[in-house]
Structure 1
């Protein structure tokens, strides 16, 4: 799911995140090679407040300065995962069981690589998704990208 660069950045950030009591949901590197944008999505057990974002931005920036992942210019963005929360780990897929999710696989599974359905958790190394009344097992290591499909109830 992560590129080698994204995995390297995640590995550099996770020990400090644990000390700070935040979770690094995922890291994305996007944009031009000469001046990319590094997006770090953080979560906190009590929710992501402005204070959590502000303090996370500070220590993440310090680590980025130390490792200098892209000599020259880059933009650092630190954000909450938002309503369409990315899913990366087995724990993420298990925690959000019951939610609607969109999943893209690196290679086709059963003739397709785009899936949308209800997360039913994990079984072994497979993400279980209920799609159109069918139970589908997608190998976690074959998932390219996945996220919760956020919904808003305007009737409440």
Structure 2
């Protein structure tokens, strides 16, 4: 059956995005109403601007048209991951240590599906979250979604 569309796109576009000095944070392929959307979320150390989004859009459009990893018509959108940036790669969990994050699990863990706390680290595929002076160790394979959380 092959790789999911998001993974095919990620493999194709990552090198060109890196050449532009940017990081591919996430790829989303989703149907909203009658239309399909391919969303690329990009970032760099000091944040991205409209020019970055435009440059990536132009650079990857031709590549995607040529390689045609998506069978149906779709709209390409390139944007910032926002303040609640998703955390997916090991590097994300290392880079954002000490930051407030939110995790949703695929199944209940210690009776809960959602956890918010300070990222204390990543060890052996376990995310360590500090919450009210306690540490919770969440196995990576049960995490459905992890992202930075806004601090108030």
CA positional deviation for 1:52: 1.3
1:139 aligns with 139
RMSD of the TM alignment (CA)?
Answer: 2.1
8 Å contact kept, 1:87–1:148:
yes
Note the 1:39-78 alignment, pairs <5 A. 39-78=39-78
Q: CA deviation at 1:33?
A: 9.1
Distance 1:95 1:148, change over 3 A: same
Greater than 6 Å deviation, 4+ residue runs: none
Residue correspondences, number: 150
User: Which sections of structure 1, spanning at least 5 residues, go unmatched?
Assistant: none
Q: TM-score, normalised by structure 1?
A: 0.85
In the aligned structure 2, how far is the partner of 1:79 from the partner of 1:151? 22
Segment drifting more, 91-100 vs 62-71: 62-71
Alignment gaps of 5+ in structure 2: none
Aligned to 1:31: 31
Q: Pairwise mapping of residues 7-156 of structure 1 onto structure 2 (< 5 A)?
A: 7-32=7-32, 35-151=35-151
Give the drift of 1:111. 2.3
CA distance in structure 1 between the aligned counterparts of 2:33 and 2:60, rounded to whole angstroms: 20
Q: Distance in 2 between matches of 1:16 and 1:96?
A: 25
